[in-house]
Structure 1
Amino acid sequence: MLVIAMLPHSIETSLAWGILSLIFHLGFVTEERSRKMMETLDAVRKVLTKVNRYAGSDLGNDEEVKEALMDIHVKLLEFWVKIVRELRKHPLEKMTDTGKGLWKDINDSLRNTLMEIQQRYEDIRELADSTSFSRNLTLQQPMSGSSLTFPVMVLPIPENPNFCGREKTLENMHKYLDPSKRRFRLSCFTVYGLGGIGKTQVATAYAYKYCRNDEDRSYDAVFWVTSETRAAMSKSFSSIAMALKLPGITERSDPSSTLSAVHAWLKQTDKRWLLIFDNAEKWDDIMPDFWPQAGAAGAVVVTSRNFNLADSPSSAGEELAIFSPDESTEFAKSILRDWDADDDHEQDAFTKLLSRLDGLPLAIHQICSLINGEGNTVADFLEIYDEHAAEFHQDRGGEHQAFYSHSLETVWLLAINKYSQDPESQLLLGAICFLSPDAIPEKLFHARKDLALPDDALFCRSPMKVRKTLRNIRSSGTISMSKSTIRIHRLLQAAFLERIQPEIQNHIFKATSTLLNDAFPKQRFGDPLYDEWPSCSKYILHAQSLARKWRSSLQNGVRLEATADFLQLLSHAAWYFRELADFESATELVEIGLEGAQEDQHELIVGHLLNTLGVVKDLTHEYHLSRQALERCLQIRLRHLGPDHLETNGVKTNLASIIASQGQYDVALELFQQAEKASTSSSAQDKRLASCRYAANYGRCFTQLGEYAKAREHLQRSRDILDSGRDNSIYRRAIDHCFGNLNLAEQLLEAAKANYETCLKGYAEDIMAKNQLLTCGCHYKIALIEMQSGHHANALTRIETALDLAMKLNAQGYVGRILLLKAELAKKDDSILLGLPVEETAEEIELKIGAVRSNLEGLLVSGSDVPPSTGDLFTYFIPWQAR
């Protein structure tokens, strides 16, 4: 029926209805025929559902589309007529799946018809994509990247000179992705299969093959996204932004700003680009934040162990099979050195070895590299290898059994046994196995001369010895290196850690914690890590990996010792995640740290973890949990540091901010004053920024209490303190915002507007990106000023700008607050909404306000103070400093 419903009105449909009537009459005589005909109709329905997306669209009047739809109509009518003829010819014949007879004829005809319809559908879709792309070009100028030299390649893996096989896979990938054929839309190809089957190498080979520096290249840019975690993907997008030299983006830029800038380039450029998501686990990890946005026209390759990723939005994909015997032979010979292929005994051993490895590329690479590293003949090596044959040939079972039925355990065991005789190599490889598998800086293992390390890690004090040990490990194919970074296969990581004894594993874990903690920047006296962001980004994924493997070991019955180095590392890494606004990762590290800490030994570190947790819970509006964490932290710091220490009074400041967030400004003011008074014994240099914060917070509190003269006095003092030493743009912008709020409260509208405009225009992009909520608040406040001044059109423009940013940040408190202002503006000027690009009524705005309120009420935790009004509720969900 769907095809009839979608036909142009000018087409006579009575014939189609008549034919379908005959089909129902003849095809539903028996239960067997009914089942088969329902299957047939369902198959037709599925393909017509796709066609129907375009039949009713703006393209429906296009002559080419009309012609394609008519062809589909004709093909279907021909198919229905053939069915009627067959059913009449064989009125009593059963429709069975025997591969012959009536059902075979109908099924063959159905398959041919659907293929022809699919082809016409592809024609319509290509036309739709082309039309959409043309419209986009008229709306915006593409970012040509004229300041760059193309091709641009962001690939962490060097080209593999030993890559062989997979020619058909590469051909299939390019047949589908080729930008010359699919220029105006996004196309995606998923490469999936076993761990170690070569997915990453296939993606790498495709990138290098089709993005060479010559005129015949298919792509102008290739970008690699490491996709195990959200943090890894954010870091990859930062690398992409740096390579593209996107304006306003630096290594210190806020991740969301970097992500938006890269997406904008992908969407607007006229360059041909390829984006590779390596080792993705599920679509939910990539979408919607990292997936190219609607309108982006390019090619995407996804590699994954999960075959489900071959489904939507991927329109094509291929599961990598094991190597054929010929491919295995070619690959092994490309790796082996000094191998006597003319020796019959060696040739026989070689054939037997490859039969045991059963075509798994990773296993072949590992074994052949071990043979090279040990200097064995293949025959000698095979004798050792055969001692582990039974273990090697254990059945893996599960869904991949048909592709690779053997375990990799023996491959890992050989490497593990080799390094068990070399303590330095064992320690270094073990440390690598605890870290994130990609982009491990070699410099991490270059320890300070005075860093306390166990005896078998003292070689780390000598960069030359570290290099020598890495070369030893690399000779067996266990790791790869490029540009002073190390990469290891994650399966080998897991196997190595599972195989070594718990006491050795614990020893390596402690040494790794010491090295990584020493390398990771430290957050002190409440000051941000902002200046250290580039360094933090090099090590954050490794800190996260170390923490997760500690927890995983505990769950598996092995308790690794949570040393002071490990816990300190987690406390500073968690704070860095907090600065990135990755509150989920920050909370995870804090929770792991609290699980591992012994309060009698690590109470000060526990205090730092609790302070971070309190700040994170404040920013996620869980004020009662924030207050609990900060009060525990305060008691710890009072016991160990005393009431005068900056760290003690830093937590008092954070606690005061929580109290202020709940509207208790007089109580918060008293706590701020206690904190500053207790800090007088600190040196002037140490307390300068702290004093700047205290004065600004006094100004905020006095503004809310209506004591404007005192507020102005303290805000000016805050600015004077900042002027007395090294500038801090983040603090200065916050002070400008405070002055704006004060002037607005005193109805000094022009002065307030000037303050907010300075916040929006007077600072570098990376500074503004650090606090986008404050940016949102400035637009909102300017809109309020414009409305009070009677400039309704200007007010609406600012409202729309603020609303777009708030929705992008998912800042529901600000979304509700801005919608309230929009509703108030509509009441003052009921015609103002007519100027919007998308018409909106006052009633629709009120419905949106109700929806936001309902959503936020659902987020209120039991025991919280419920705000008395809608406006108070929205304010409750805005961080105090951004209100």
Structure 2
Amino acid sequence: MAVQPPPPRPIEVLPPPPRPSDVPRCLMLPPSRTIRLFDRVDVFQNLDKSLGPDVRGTSFRSVALHGIGGVGKSSVACSYMEARFKESVYDVGLWVSGEKPASLRQSFTDIALRLKLPGANPQHHEANFHLVHDWLQSTDRSWLVVYDNVESAEILMPYWPTSTNGRAIITTRNDSLAFEPASDGLEVTSWDDKTGSKFLLHLLKKNIDRQSAETVDDSAFALAKRLGGHALMISQMAGLIHRYKFPIEDFLAVYLRNPQTTHERDEFKAIWEASFASLSKDSKPLMGVISFLMPDNITPEIFANVEGRHFPADLSFCDNDFRLLEALAELFGLALVKKDEDTGIMSVHRMVQTQFKYFLSPEQRLRYFENAVALIFDLFPSEDIEVGQMYENWEMCNRHIQHVINLRDCFAEEQKLPGNFQVSFKLCELLLRSQRFLLESNEMKDFEETCRVNLMVVECLEPGAQKESYKATIISHQAQMAENLGDHETAIRLHKEDYKIQLAKQPRNLYFLSYTAGNLGYSYSSAGNQTEALKWFQTSREWWSNMPNRPLNILVNEARAYILLGDLETAEKLLDSFEKQARSDKSQGWAMNADGYFAIGVFDLHRKDFESAEQHFSAARQAWLKGDQTRLHPFYGACLYKLGVVYLSQGKVEAAINHLRDSVVITQADKDKRPAEHARVLFKLSEALSQDASDDSLDEAVKLRDEAEVYLRKQDPNTNNFSTDEAYDRFVTLDRR
């Protein structure tokens, strides 16, 4: 065969897991934190009771700090962890942003990097989580993890410790978390009037004329009483008093002249209106954008004035660095936004975001939302239409995906409100880009929700060709996910719907037509209909006929169809073409190389050249890792599975068992979404164990074989064939088969 295997690579030797004593004392605090904790001694004492005075050698304990937004839950947790760390109660204190799966993933990556765990990498979110998870289980260090601002148990549970030691604190508005998963709960309440007034005076101690102490005390008490002892509201009021340099009694008089009487919390609205109404023409639209972003990770580059960037009209002042700094300083001075001086990262309280959005008119809210979309649109990478993939841009995508998800969720919330929230095409385009990334990175839940919301966005657009084009792309992405999950029938139906839309376009887009036809060929091949698959691959070839360099992924997928058809000669020619084109075009990148090597390995297996197959599957695995991507991606798991198959075919039973066990760890994560793919690894591991001499291995082999049948029935309840590789492979997408 003309296809030459890559030179043998040395066996990858991973560093040993860190010993518990390898990690020094470490304290991770949130990027933006308050230093204004005041009079929470009782909460500290209750936390000590809940978590226990002796944290070493005791079982895992956890507590949920719950209460309304803005009462200081995060400040309490942060200060408590810092205090007990300084007292050496804990050797390690860790901070996790718990709002969304995206922020949880990023937090565990930050922890893995901060602890310097072997194998930690900025892009390996799933792998980093498991590194931290394993460390928490094995270390003899005393540790405390704070999960901040958790919305629901559903979001939290995948990241909850399963250790038998250690401590955890949850901060949340959801008091149900005090029952599950936390083992105890503490409510952080607003202060009584006296304590609230003391807090206000504490914040204003530099502004107060002590000669009028009695008047000041009375005014502070009256104001704190009006605010219901709410920590954030008091802090906001102190910011206004400081900014306007009013005596507290004068400010109280101004405030009391504008009481709200419709319900008991109208005073709160007055406070927010006073803060928001004071914003300048620059700071107001800036606050508008910030109110729609992920609150805890607002990086300076979002507003950076780089060459060639065009800001929305409301934000044109961002072209002037000084005006931008002035506008931000105004937000900092009003305590609406915080900034970490070391990292430059800004944060905003969710209550501030919510209240500001409702302070705006519907027209302003829509305009500022569109501005936020435009800023993130500038930063989030777009798909290279000729390559049809985003793998090379994963690093940049990871930096901004949290903001895209937040914009998505904000749009969905706006649709529940009265009025016409008519967005522009940019939101749809931004969500399309994120869909591609989420699809490739195997973030299935976020992918499905993004597609659902994006279809809502499409319905808001004006009728026309562009609207139909966006709809077709969403359908294409949904089809690819269906295929990825082994639902070939749904994938074919959706791809045909996409193809019909592409055909109706005037003028026709030959790139899209060729890719869509190629996708149909791929899905028909996965479904076992190679004759129909080759017809569609030929159609794809015809659409591309007048353009150079047919996409390598379509070329490789066509070769796969010929392999399954048994025409190894034609498959070999196509794979030769792949290697030739890949060598001449270095821009294809690590993912395409991994895919190509994997396909050649499958070719080698079909001709029973196990030595060459081993080299090519190893090359596919190394190419994937070269892209600094997660070791828990399904493709990486498929590489391990195929190596296990090769080793078993060579009689290398121990090596086969080791690789198949590693593959099971990966497929286990998605076993409910991809039951057949998990089942095939269990089936093959059962075969390998049955060839091992150990009695324990034989018992495990029987158990795994039964488990494989259970999962295969989840994919196909009517199946009665559990004894062949094909019984499982037919539900696995083509590029991992």
Q: Deviations over 1:462-509 (max 9, x none)?
A: 232222111112211112111322211212222222232111212222
Q: Could you tell me which residue of structure 2 aligns to residue 486 of structure 1?
A: 346
1:529 is aligned to 2:390: yes
Q: Distance in 1 between matches of 2:636 and 2:447?
A: 24
Q: Does 1 or 2 have the higher relative contact order (CA < 8 Å, sep 6+)? A: 2
Q: Distance in 1 between matches of 2:268 and 2:89?
A: 37
Q: Could you tell me which residue of structure 1 aligns to residue 197 of structure 2?
A: 329
Match of 2:92 among 199, 221, 226: 221
Q: Secondary structure at the match of 2:19?
A: coil
Q: Give the CA deviation at 1:184.
A: 4.3
Q: Give the CA deviation at 1:658.
A: 1.7
Q: Could you tell me which residue of structure 2 aligns to residue 354 of structure 1?
A: 224
1:610 is aligned to 2:475: yes
Q: Distance in 2 between matches of 1:825 and 1:691?
A: 38
Indicate conservation of the 8 Å contact 1:718/1:735, yes or no. yes
The alpha-carbon distance between structure 1 residues 648 and 194, as it changes in their structure 2 partners (threshold 3 A), is same
Q: Secondary structure at the match of 1:423?
A: coil
The alpha-carbon distance between structure 1 residues 174 and 765, as it changes in their structure 2 partners (threshold 3 A), is farther
The alpha-carbon distance between structure 1 residues 306 and 263, as it changes in their structure 2 partners (threshold 3 A), is same
Q: Could you tell me which residue of structure 1 aligns to residue 284 of structure 2?
A: 426
Q: Secondary structure at the match of 2:716?
A: helix
The alpha-carbon distance between structure 1 residues 367 and 154, as it changes in their structure 2 partners (threshold 3 A), is closer
Q: Could you tell me which residue of structure 2 aligns to residue 302 of structure 1?
A: 170
The alpha-carbon distance between structure 1 residues 538 and 154, as it changes in their structure 2 partners (threshold 3 A), is farther
Q: Give the CA deviation at 1:384.
A: 2.5
Q: Deviations over 1:626-658 (max 9, x none)?
A: 334333433444455856643432333223222
Q: Could you tell me which residue of structure 2 aligns to residue 242 of structure 1?
A: 113
Residue type matched to 1:239 in 2?
A: D
Indicate conservation of the 8 Å contact 2:272/2:356, yes or no. yes
1:839 is aligned to 2:702: no
Q: Could you tell me which residue of structure 2 aligns to residue 28 of structure 1?
A: none
Q: Give the CA deviation at 1:445.
A: 2.2
Q: Distance in 2 between matches of 1:673 and 1:243?
A: 52
1:264 is aligned to 2:134: yes
Indicate conservation of the 8 Å contact 2:26/2:92, yes or no. yes
1:339 is aligned to 2:200: no
Q: Could you tell me which residue of structure 2 aligns to residue 704 of structure 1?
A: 564
Q: Secondary structure at the match of 1:301?
A: strand
Q: Distance in 2 between matches of 1:272 and 1:536?
A: 35
Q: Distance in 2 between matches of 1:638 and 1:242?
A: 49
1:752 is aligned to 2:613: yes
Indicate conservation of the 8 Å contact 1:760/1:768, yes or no. no
Match of 2:424 among 548, 559, 563: 563
Residue type matched to 2:716 in 1?
A: E
Indicate conservation of the 8 Å contact 1:154/1:239, yes or no. no
Q: Give the CA deviation at 1:358.
A: 2.3
Q: Could you tell me which residue of structure 1 aligns to residue 487 of structure 2?
A: 622
Deviates more, 1:692-701 or 1:770-779: 770-779
The alpha-carbon distance between structure 1 residues 447 and 602, as it changes in their structure 2 partners (threshold 3 A), is farther
Match of 2:595 among 728, 731, 734: 734
Q: Give the CA deviation at 1:326.
A: 4.6
Q: Deviations over 1:436-482 (max 9, x none)?
A: 22111232123556555553321122232222111112211112111
1:278 is aligned to 2:139: no
Match of 2:714 among 850, 855, 859: 855
Deviates more, 1:493-502 or 1:526-535: 526-535
Indicate conservation of the 8 Å contact 2:556/2:575, yes or no. yes
Indicate conservation of the 8 Å contact 1:232/1:541, yes or no. yes
Q: Deviations over 1:278-309 (max 9, x none)?
A: 1112323211x2011234x3221111112222
The alpha-carbon distance between structure 1 residues 340 and 877, as it changes in their structure 2 partners (threshold 3 A), is farther
Q: Distance in 1 between matches of 2:221 and 2:686?
A: 78
Q: Distance in 1 between matches of 2:375 and 2:270?
A: 30
Q: Give the CA deviation at 1:563.
A: 0.5
Residue type matched to 2:173 in 1?
A: R
Q: Distance in 1 between matches of 2:664 and 2:273?
A: 58
Indicate conservation of the 8 Å contact 1:649/1:676, yes or no. yes
The alpha-carbon distance between structure 1 residues 301 and 715, as it changes in their structure 2 partners (threshold 3 A), is same
The alpha-carbon distance between structure 1 residues 443 and 788, as it changes in their structure 2 partners (threshold 3 A), is closer
Indicate conservation of the 8 Å contact 1:691/1:718, yes or no. no
Indicate conservation of the 8 Å contact 1:427/1:508, yes or no. yes
Q: Distance in 2 between matches of 1:383 and 1:565?
A: 47
The alpha-carbon distance between structure 1 residues 224 and 822, as it changes in their structure 2 partners (threshold 3 A), is closer
Match of 2:321 among 463, 474, 478: 463
Q: Distance in 1 between matches of 2:481 and 2:545?
A: 28
Matches within 5 A, 1:659-738: 659-682=524-547, 687=549, 691-726=551-586, 728-738=589-599
The number of aligned residues is 708
Q: Secondary structure at the match of 1:222?
A: strand
TM-score, normalisation: structure 1 = 0.74
Match of 1:151 among 26, 35, 51: 26
Q: Could you tell me which residue of structure 1 aligns to residue 64 of structure 2?
A: 190
Q: Deviations over 1:402-447 (max 9, x none)?
A: xxxx87333222223323xx33222111111122221112321235
The alpha-carbon distance between structure 1 residues 643 and 873, as it changes in their structure 2 partners (threshold 3 A), is farther
Residue type matched to 1:658 in 2?
A: S
Indicate conservation of the 8 Å contact 1:812/1:877, yes or no. no
Q: Could you tell me which residue of structure 1 aligns to residue 102 of structure 2?
A: 231
Q: Deviations over 1:203-261 (max 9, x none)?
A: 1111222334xxx53333322211121122112112212222333332222x3222112
Q: Give the CA deviation at 1:175.
A: 4.9
Indicate conservation of the 8 Å contact 2:593/2:623, yes or no. no
Matches within 5 A, 1:112-191: 143-144=19-20, 146=22, 150-158=25-33, 160-177=34-51, 180-191=54-65
Q: Could you tell me which residue of structure 2 aligns to residue 658 of structure 1?
A: 523
Matches within 5 A, 1:466-545: 466-482=324-340, 483-525=343-385, 526-545=387-406
Q: Deviations over 1:769-803 (max 9, x none)?
A: 36743343344334444444455555445444433
Q: Secondary structure at the match of 1:279?
A: strand
Q: Give the CA deviation at 1:674.
A: 3.0
Q: Could you tell me which residue of structure 2 aligns to residue 83 of structure 1?
A: none
Q: Distance in 2 between matches of 1:557 and 1:791?
A: 66
The alpha-carbon distance between structure 1 residues 673 and 194, as it changes in their structure 2 partners (threshold 3 A), is same
Q: Deviations over 1:11-52 (max 9, x none)?
A: xxxxxxxxxxxxxxxxxxxxxxxxxxxxxxxxxxxxxxxxxx
Q: Distance in 1 between matches of 2:232 and 2:246?
A: 20
1:817 is aligned to 2:680: yes
Cα-Cα RMSD: 3.0
Match of 1:204 among 75, 78, 90: 78
Q: Give the CA deviation at 1:364.
A: 0.7
Gap regions ≥5 residues in structure 1: 1-139, 397-405, 859-865
1:803 is aligned to 2:672: no
TM-score, normalisation: structure 2 = 0.88
Q: Deviations over 1:169-194 (max 9, x none)?
A: 22332454468543343222221112
Q: Secondary structure at the match of 1:434?
A: coil
Q: Secondary structure at the match of 1:555?
A: coil
The alpha-carbon distance between structure 1 residues 636 and 415, as it changes in their structure 2 partners (threshold 3 A), is farther
Indicate conservation of the 8 Å contact 2:518/2:537, yes or no. yes
The alpha-carbon distance between structure 1 residues 457 and 758, as it changes in their structure 2 partners (threshold 3 A), is closer
Q: Percent identity, aligned pairs only?
A: 21
Deviates more, 1:242-251 or 1:869-878: 869-878
The alpha-carbon distance between structure 1 residues 268 and 846, as it changes in their structure 2 partners (threshold 3 A), is closer
Q: Could you tell me which residue of structure 2 aligns to residue 88 of structure 1?
A: none
